[in-house]
Amino acid sequence: MTTESPFVETREIEMPTGVLSVSVEQSEVCLDQLCTYAARVNPKRGFLFASHYLARELPVKPSQIAALHEMLALKLQDDMPGPVVFIGMAEYAVSLGQGIFESYLERTGRQDLLYLHTTRFSLERQAFISFKEEHSHAPSHIVYYPDDAFDRQLLQQAKTLVLIDDEASTGKTFLNLAKAFALINSHIEKIVTVVITDWRGDDQTSAIEAAMPAPCGNVSLLKGSYSFVPQPGLKVDMPNVCGCTTAKDHLLQDNFGRFGTRAALTLSHELMGSLNFRPTDKVLVLGTGEFVHLPYLLAHALELRGIDVRSQSTTRNPLMTWGPIEHSLTFENKVHGIPSFLYNCQPELYDRVLLCVETPAELVDQALIDTLQCEVISFFK
């Protein structure tokens, strides 16, 4: 006997770009607790499921993010055929993927696990695979070979592929990644997709699974379907957020997951020792673009000290100021030569704002620093 999910519902959301209809078929968490809906400045897709957990468009308590990582990691079987490669999708699932990997690693203690995330950085190093996310504002993804020889071996001999994103609407990006991966690695026996919300519906899920190069399982907190009817005649001027293709190796001198890791990321004692807060301080820790997991870990460490802290990140995803997007700040991303965005950030609500970057501090737009009155923490070596 099966019990129907208590959170089954349908909803219709009218937004400036069109009408989004969603149908929740099964969920462990109330829909409103998982996400809200934003309007994208993107002619390919006019909507966004804005997560209450990802800390992109909305500031989030780090402990809430940590709980999500554990919830999703617990859904993965301990005995997945190894080696197991976890891949987080840039930019929204970089930290989500790494957090799930770290939670799974802590629980199982397995030594045959590898985490990487896709990237949109052009680098003068060998790419393992590249693939497209057709509907995206920045469609190209690259996975680079790890530097470490054993990590390369895990990648090339992996039997299970765990693909992680914030949501699945069609599943085509997962399919593109898996097909590209299977052309290089013929050992894949199992593929698992992991998302917070899965909107593919039964028919699309079955079609994607049938097209996968290996048997596929799916993990999520919510399963449902959606449809979107664009506003007739609507024209949107999407900014160019793809960035230049000039190699950025000189700006990325450390590996925070982009080039493979078998261990959890950790914060230096020097950094933690240098940060002094009053017990009453309210703090915002900002990640930038693909550099989000260490800033999240920093925010989580401060929360464990008893500090009232929120985690959030900048993004290259252009959104309209509508609905949950109450504030929008555009600034220059000097690394890529493109505009980037920070949503719903009100610096006056915080005593201190820490902006974390993986590149040299002098590349941060001074206008952004002035607006946020923030302290820049560069992890560049």
pLDDT tens-digit readout, 13-39:
999 999 999 999 999 999 999 999 999
Q: Does domain 265-378 have CATH number 3.40.630?
A: no
pLDDT band at 2 (very low <50, low <70, confident <90, very high): very low
Longest dimension (CA), the chain: 61
Q: Is the predicted pLDDT of residue 1 greater than 50, yes or no? A: no
Kindly tell me if the per-residue pLDDT of 308 is higher than 80. yes
Helix, strand and coil in the chain, % to nearest 5? 25, 30, 45
DSSP classification of residue 197: E
d(CA 185, CA 204): 26
Residues 60-83 have pLDDT tens digits of 999 999 999 999 999 999 999 999
Residue 3: band (very low, low, confident or very high) from pLDDT cuts 50, 70, 90: low
> How far, in Å, are 113, 227, 330, 374 from residue 19 at the CA level?
42, 8, 26, 38
Give per-residue pLDDT as tens, 357-375: 999 999 999 999 999 999 9
pLDDT per position as a tens digit, 133-169 = 655 544 588 999 999 999 999 999 999 999 999 999 9
Q: What is the pLDDT of residue 131?
A: 86
pLDDT confidence of residue 87: 98
Determine the 3-state secondary structure of 366 from DSSP: helix
Give me the pLDDT at residue 133, please. Answer: 64
pTM of the model: 0.96
Omega prior to 279 cis, within 30 of 0: no
C-alpha to C-alpha distance for 66 and 300, rounded to whole angstroms? 8
Q: How far is CA 111 from the centre of its chain?
A: 24
| Strand positions, DSSP E, the chain | 9-15, 18-27, 35-39, 47-51, 84-88, 113-117, 127-132, 140-144, 160-164, 167-168, 190-194, 197-198, 216-219, 222-230, 282-287, 308-313, 328-333, 338-343, 352-357, 375-378
Query: Residues near 2 by Cβ (< 8 Å), separated by ≥ 6?
Result: none
- pLDDT given for residue 139 in this prediction: 57
Which tens digit of pLDDT belongs to each residue from 320-347? 999 999 999 999 999 888 899 999 999 9
Alpha-carbon gap, residue 199 to 177, rounded angstroms: 19
pLDDT in tens, 83-126: 999 999 999 999 999 999 999 999 999 999 999 999 999 899 99
Q: What mean pLDDT is predicted for residues 277-290?
A: 95
Phi/psi for 250 (5° steps) reads -70, -15
- Average pLDDT of the chain? 94
